[in-house]
Structure 1
Amino acid sequence: MTDLALVTSEPRQSSSRSPLLVMLHGYGSHEQDLIGLVDFIDPRYRVVSVRAPLELDMGGFAWFPIEFSPVGMVMDMDEGLRSRDRLLSMLEQTQRQYGNDDSDTVTLGFSQGGAMALSMLLTAPGKLAGTAFLSGVWLRELLPDDAQSLTALEGKPVLQTHGLHDPLLPINKAHKTRDILESLPLDLTYREYPMGHEINGECLQDVSTWLAGRLPSG
């Protein structure tokens, strides 16, 4: 049994084996946040939304602590690595529970949760069919030191979305992240929108379409 708190939305359309979508919320949020998107997602998905392990004094939860200083954000990456390892353990247990594997398991993360979702894919590409990476940025410290997994990344689908007017993670950071991801053998889809640090209607439609595209037709 995983030690992370989860909320599950069962598939609204039955299939022989329901694909698995794992959602990871952003800093200061909780597992009930992204689960509200299920009505806009292909009904064949079983959706599992995960609560980050660190409770914040201001309320909500985080995958790793962030301090906001005059020179910018200071992040505790050691805690982030521990959270990633717990997420990978949770993923294995959840896949085993529902009979899923790398062919039908996708992650979706927003902001800090997006960084965690991307870290999971790049650390253990053999466990996932793809990742939707929303309003997040590349964090080198959360990635593996070796390059042995590059071959396993070949053709792995990644959706990156970002707001042109994001006040927390400016669009230039998203462009740098995009350029790095394009240098890897991923199947990257990049989209940006006239929005802030959020998921607007156009973004949600693109996410929905991309997630549906990860499923077999028919």
Structure 2
Amino acid sequence: MSALTYQERPAAGRAEGLLVLHHGRGADDRDLLGLGDVLDPERRLHVVTPRAPLTLDGWPGYHWYVVPRVGYPDPATFRAAYDRLAAFHDELWERTGVAPERTILGGFSMGSVMSYALGLAGERPKPAGILAFSGFVPTVEGWQPDVSSRAGRTRAFVAHGRRDPVMAVDFARRAKELLEAGGVELEYHESDAGHHIDPAHVPAAVEWVATTLPSPAGERAA
């Protein structure tokens, strides 16, 4: 069992998909629950927001891994969080009966890093989408992205601020190059925002979620 604490917001009726949102550094499982309502205003999806497992002396909230250098997670704490989050996703798919191919893994900042990590790992199920606000594809010992295995199966939405002082926009541009080179269908946005979710990017994200997980009667062409 992963034993991760989490919040969830059920769909209004039978869930047409899963939206799993991973919070950023120093936040908790309640931080992005409201974003689920924004991204899924019709409440078609079951929204789940897990809490990171790590607490650090002198830091508030919860963390997915230790940060020795931005872009390069500490391998031991990253692997521990990766394993627990993988178990959490597996339990979630089993409990809800919603398959990975009807799931979007998303998040902000450090939560985007974990969405990339679980969404692009060749050993993991292929989600329908990866939604990355102000994050990066990690460089970390023991993990490598398998982007080509996601081509035609997983879509991506990347949004980042050019004035981000925490995670430079160059990380998003590298992710763009990596995803496009691997054949992943990508929607990419930049703005002059800092390290936050820019409201200007939200309408596009809402539309992207709707088209990535359409109602069964309106499935995208394969």
**TM-score, structure 1 as length reference:** 0.88
Aligned counterpart, 2:45: 45
| Alpha-carbon distance in structure 2 between the residues aligned to 1:169 and 1:37 | 21
Contact 1:122 1:153 (8 Å CA) reproduced: no
| Alpha-carbon distance in structure 2 between the residues aligned to 1:64 and 1:129 | 25
Aligned counterpart, 1:5: 5
The structure with the largest strand share of the pair is: 1
Q: For 1:89-128, what aligned pairs fall within 5 Å after superposition?
A: 89-123=87-121, 124=123, 126-128=125-127
By how many angstroms is 1:155 displaced? Answer: 4.2
Q: Which moved more, 1:172-181 or 1:132-141?
A: 172-181
By how many angstroms is 1:146 displaced? Answer: 8.0
Aligned counterpart, 2:172: 174
For residue 201 of structure 2, the aligned residue among 203, 209, 214 is: 203
| Alpha-carbon distance in structure 2 between the residues aligned to 1:23 and 1:143 | 24
**What is the one-letter code of the residue matched to 2:55?**
E
| Alpha-carbon distance in structure 1 between the residues aligned to 2:84 and 2:90 | 10
Q: RMSD over aligned Cα, in angstroms?
A: 2.2
Aligned counterpart, 1:213: 211
By how many angstroms is 1:188 displaced? Answer: 1.3
User: Does the alignment pair 1:129 with 2:128?
Assistant: yes
Contact 1:115 1:136 (8 Å CA) reproduced: yes
Q: Secondary structure at the residue paired with 2:173?
A: helix
| Alpha-carbon distance in structure 2 between the residues aligned to 1:202 and 1:9 | 24
Change (3 A) 1:202 1:113: same
Q: Secondary structure at the residue paired with 1:126?
A: coil
For residue 83 of structure 1, the aligned residue among 57, 65, 81 is: 81
Q: For 1:156-167, what aligned pairs fall within 5 Å after superposition?
A: 156-167=154-165
| Alpha-carbon distance in structure 2 between the residues aligned to 1:184 and 1:59 | 37
**What is the one-letter code of the residue matched to 2:33?**
I
Change (3 A) 1:67 1:142: closer
Contact 1:67 1:73 (8 Å CA) reproduced: no
1:23-46: CA deviation from partner (whole Å, max 9, x where unpaired)? 101111111111121221221111
| Alpha-carbon distance in structure 2 between the residues aligned to 1:199 and 1:144 | 27
**What is the one-letter code of the residue matched to 2:198?**
N
Contact 2:161 2:195 (8 Å CA) reproduced: yes
Count of residue pairs the alignment pairs up: 212
| Alpha-carbon distance in structure 2 between the residues aligned to 1:73 and 1:91 | 24
| Alpha-carbon distance in structure 1 between the residues aligned to 2:184 and 2:196 | 25
* Identity across matched positions, percent: 28
1:35-77: CA deviation from partner (whole Å, max 9, x where unpaired)? 1212212211111001000012321011001247xxx787412
Change (3 A) 1:54 1:82: same
